[in-house]
Amino acid sequence: MDDTLRIAIVAPPWYPLPPRGYGGTELVVHLLHSELRRLGHDLTVYGAAGSEAGVTMLADAAWSHDLGGPHERPREATYLARVYADMANRRFDVIHDHAGFDGLLLALHSGVAPVVVHTIHGELVEPMTTLYKEVDARARLCAISLSQAASAPALKLAGIVHNAVELPTAPPSATHERYLIEVARITPDKGQHLAIQVAQQSGRKLILAGKVE
């Protein structure tokens, strides 16, 4: 029996796979599709220009400058239009969407695959939970942490899949300076204020690293 799956993964349109610096979701997608390929599955991966070989690049590199601005939505829509035009006459066993709400809805209504998996990369708050509740019977929604899942107990989740880490790139060290570090966008929803509180209460040095918004 052949267990090989035909899987389409739709990354966000903003940064290449793998990212060269900022790009947390893109790094998750890169590690995921690399491992799925290693396991022998048939992968089609969509992403931004500048990505590694094997990625179908349908978003221009310059579009990253539009993230968070007034042109974000039309850029994202253009990318998704290209993605689903490319998929139009193909069939997959699974679509795994990482491209937000519009990507999820297009995947569900495209008829390209019987199974749609959607990883929830953001905070689970209303109105996000209202939208997800509308589709949780049809899409396999994946949380990325126990905390995220617990914040929406009424939501039907397929499971919790923590963001992957490539262990060889972060080897443990026997010597350290006992400092704390948070690597994330510098923005209120990433909780740098909580990291500061922990550092103050523990009396330890704190390093904040990330893109400032």
Residues 6+ apart with CB under 8 A from 188: none
In this predicted structure, the answer to whether residue 2 has a pLDDT above a threshold of 80 is no
Q: Establish whether the linkage from the previous residue to 18 is cis, with ω within 30° of 0.
A: yes
| For residues 3-16, average pLDDT | 97
The DSSP code sequence of 10-53 is E--SSS-SS-SSS-HHHHHHHHHHHHHHHTT-EEEEEEETTPPT
The tokens of 7 are what? 């899987």
Class of the domain covering 6-167: alpha beta
User: Which pLDDT band holds residue 171 (cuts at 50, 70, 90)?
Assistant: confident
Nearest to 100 by CA among 69, 131, 63: 131
Q: Is 209 helix (H, G, I), strand (E, B) or coil?
A: strand
| For residues 37-46, average pLDDT | 97
User: Which pLDDT band holds residue 1 (cuts at 50, 70, 90)?
Assistant: low
Residues 6+ apart with CB under 8 A from 196: 206
Nearest to 24 by CA among 104, 140, 119, 105: 119
Q: Which pTM was predicted?
A: 0.91
Residues 6+ apart with CB under 8 A from 15: 22, 23, 26, 48, 64
Q: What ranges do the domains of the chain cover?
A: 6-167, 172-209
